[in-house]
């Protein structure tokens, strides 16, 4: 053992150095090079491979900490995430690479995302913002909404009581009305895109999901092509006749789907029959809906409800209601046995009419 100030061994005169340290540096000499192995430098232009379907645990754009995947579809993956600065929860929809490279779809999505903040409404899960990472990953941020999907509610209950249907349809119509005022058409309205949520007091309300997320205005429904190939694009059960034909769409296509959803909620069945989806699509183009009471025998629906649904599901768009407000008000009035007309009903009061 040597003293702290010892520089040479007193026995043989050997120069001493600190245990486990580097040799002392001679005066005027340069520092020795660090010989610790370094990770190889990535090649120029090399990009990280992104697994869109397994993003849990990552932080997106340095802002959104992704917790877990909560759903996926053909065009996107949906994750629960929270803002690392505010801890607020969001649903992050990460678009598939194929959709991200579709210039037309992206242009439309950017336009609709710009309107997203104006779509803020208690009955709409709207787009908060749209972003793109340096790696080319495109994502959409929306409020995180918890509850029961309407399709699951329908399956669980078999059919939904008329008063509950009137309430949910009024709320869905209110959300759709805001979108239609902004020239946004949902185009894919169905029970799978409606969430039944609970307030703090336990009361329930309906929220419309998946607004304007790069859906094609033409739903790929040209019957000749479908008949020839047997291929059906999208979910056709709730498409309007003009959507099946690939015609231009306006808010009345959402009214048709809303009326069809109402029918299914009340009966547990769709108003058209067919052995295949293709036959059901053709029936929607050629036939009238099966009467409500025939679909659910023994249930004495007010006669006005039948008339409201028939008008909402008219094959020609010109024969339908002109707005979701008008449809929902007519349904509420008919359910109260007040006839099928409707100004100034549930939604009329909501919007100050």
Cβ count near 72 (within 10 Å): 15
Give me the number of domains the chain comprises: 2
110 is a domain residue = yes
Residue 40 or residue 224, greater confidence: 40
Single out the residue of 330, 174, 334, 329 nearest to residue 254, CA to CA.
174
Same domain for 205 and 107: no
Residue 2 or residue 303, greater confidence: 303
pLDDT of residue 191: 95
43 is a domain residue = no
Single out the residue of 106, 119, 64 nearest to residue 87, CA to CA.
64
Contact present, 191 and 150 (Cβ < 8 Å)? yes
**Stretch 99-125: mean pLDDT:** 83
Query: Which of 143, 175, 190 marks a domain boundary?
Result: 143
CB contact set of 120 (below 8 Å; sequence gap of 6+): 126
Same domain for 321 and 216: yes
Residue 128's SS3 state is: coil
Residue 238's SS3 state is: helix
pLDDT of residue 1: 55
The rounded Cα 20 to chain-centroid distance in angstroms is 60
Query: Active-site positions?
Result: 188
Query: Which of 87, 110, 143 marks a domain boundary?
Result: 143
CB contact set of 328 (below 8 Å; sequence gap of 6+): 169, 170, 172, 173, 174, 345, 346, 347
Single out the residue of 127, 89, 149, 133 nearest to residue 214, CA to CA.
127
Residue by residue, DSSP assigns 209-263 as ---SSS--SS-S--HHHHHHH----S-GGG--HHHHTT----HHHHHHHHHHHHH
Decide if pLDDT at 71 tops 90. Answer: no
Q: What is the CATH number of the domain that holds 328?
A: 1.10.510.10
pLDDT of residue 29: 45
Same domain for 133 and 154: no
Give the model confidence (pLDDT) of 128-175 as tens digits.
888 888 888 889 999 999 999 999 999 999 999 999 999 999 999 999
pLDDT of residue 15: 56
Same domain for 95 and 111: yes
Q: How far is CA 249 from CA 213, 217, 317, in A?
A: 16, 7, 9
Same domain for 253 and 187: yes
pLDDT of residue 323: 97
Could you tell me the two tokens for 132?
């793109």
Q: How confident is the model at residue 107 (pLDDT cuts 50, 70, 90)?
A: confident
Q: What percent of the chain has pLDDT over 70?
A: 75
Same domain for 306 and 338: yes
Same domain for 242 and 340: yes
Contact present, 31 and 25 (Cβ < 8 Å)? yes
Query: Which of 77, 110, 143 marks a domain boundary?
Result: 143
Residue 285's SS3 state is: helix
Calpha distance 254→266 (Å, rounded): 18
182 is a domain residue = yes
pLDDT of residue 326: 98
Cβ count near 62 (within 10 Å): 9
Q: What is the CATH number of the domain that holds 101?
A: 3.30.200.20
For 343, which DSSP code? T
Instruction: Sheet with 194-198: list strands edge to edge.
Output: 148-149, 194-198, 204-208
Could you tell me the two tokens for 84?
């690392």
Q: How confident is the model at residue 230 (pLDDT cuts 50, 70, 90)?
A: very low
54 is a domain residue = no
pLDDT of residue 217: 38
Cβ count near 21 (within 10 Å): 7
Q: How confident is the model at residue 116 (pLDDT cuts 50, 70, 90)?
A: confident
Residue by residue, DSSP assigns 131-187 as EE-TT--EEEEEE---SEEHHHHHHHHSS--HHHHHHHHHHHHHHHHHHHHTT---S
Same domain for 307 and 164: yes
Decide if pLDDT at 120 tops 80. Answer: yes
42 is a domain residue = no
Q: How confident is the model at residue 54 (pLDDT cuts 50, 70, 90)?
A: confident
Average pLDDT over the chain, rounded to an integer: 79
Question: Which parts of 43-161 fold into alpha helices (H)?
Answer: 97-100, 103-114, 150-157
Q: What percent of the chain has pLDDT over 90?
A: 43
pLDDT of residue 251: 95
Calpha distance 144→64 (Å, rounded): 13
Same domain for 264 and 118: no
Decide if pLDDT at 310 tops 90. Answer: yes
Single out the residue of 334, 310, 339, 322 nearest to residue 173, CA to CA.
322
N residues, the chain: 353
Contact present, 295 and 267 (Cβ < 8 Å)? yes
The rounded Cα 41 to chain-centroid distance in angstroms is 40
Give the model confidence (pLDDT) of 182-221 as tens digits.
888 888 899 999 999 999 999 999 999 887 543 433 333 3
Decide if pLDDT at 353 tops 80. Answer: no
Expressed as residue numbers, the domain containing 345 is 148-350
Region of residue 40 (phi > 0: left; psi between -120 and 50: alpha; otherwise: beta): beta
């Amino acid at each position: 053992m040597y003293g702290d100030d010892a520089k040479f061994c007193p026995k043989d005169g050997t120069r001493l150095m600190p245990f486990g340290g580097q040799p002392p540096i001679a005066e005027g000499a340069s520092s020795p090079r660090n010989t610790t192995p370094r990770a190889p430098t990535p090649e120029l232009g090399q990009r990280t491979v992104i697994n869109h379907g397994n993003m849990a645990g990552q932080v997106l754009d340095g802002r959104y900490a992704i917790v877990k995947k909560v759903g996926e579809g053909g065009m996107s993956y949906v994750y629960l995430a929270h803002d690392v600065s505010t801890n607020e929860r969001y649903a992050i929809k990460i678009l598939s690479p194929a959709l991200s490279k579709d210039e037309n779809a992206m242009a439309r999505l950017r336009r609709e995302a710009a309107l997203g903040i104006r779509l803020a409404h208690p009955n709409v899960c709207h787009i908060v913002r749209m972003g793109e990472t340096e790696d080319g990953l495109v994502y959409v941020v929306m409020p995180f909404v918890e509850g029961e999907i309407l399709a699951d509610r329908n399956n669980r209950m078999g059919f939904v009581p008329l008063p509950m249907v009137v309430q949910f349809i009024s709320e869905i119509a209110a959300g759709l009305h805001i979108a239609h005022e902004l020239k946004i058409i949902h185009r894919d309205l169905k029970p799978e895109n409606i969430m039944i949520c609970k307030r703090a007091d336990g009361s329930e309300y309906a929220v419309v999901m998946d607004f304007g997320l790069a859906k094609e205005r033409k739903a790929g429904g040209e019957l000749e092509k479908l008949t020839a190939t047997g291929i059906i694009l999208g979910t056709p059960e709730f498409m309007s006749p003009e959507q099946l034909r690939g015609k231009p769409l306006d808010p009345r296509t959402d009214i048709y789907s809303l009326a069809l959803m109402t029918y299914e909620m009340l009966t547990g069945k769709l108003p058209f029959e067919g052995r295949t989806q293709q036959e059901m699509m053709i029936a929607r183009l050629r036939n009238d809906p099966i009467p409500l009471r025939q679909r659910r025998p023994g249930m004495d629906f007010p006669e006005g409800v039948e008339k409201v649904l028939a008008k909402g599901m008219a094959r020609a768009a010109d024969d339908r209601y002109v707005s979701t407000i008008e449809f929902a008000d007519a349904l509420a009035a008919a359910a109260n046995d007040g006839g099928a007309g409707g100004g100034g009903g549930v939604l009329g009061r909501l919007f100050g009419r």
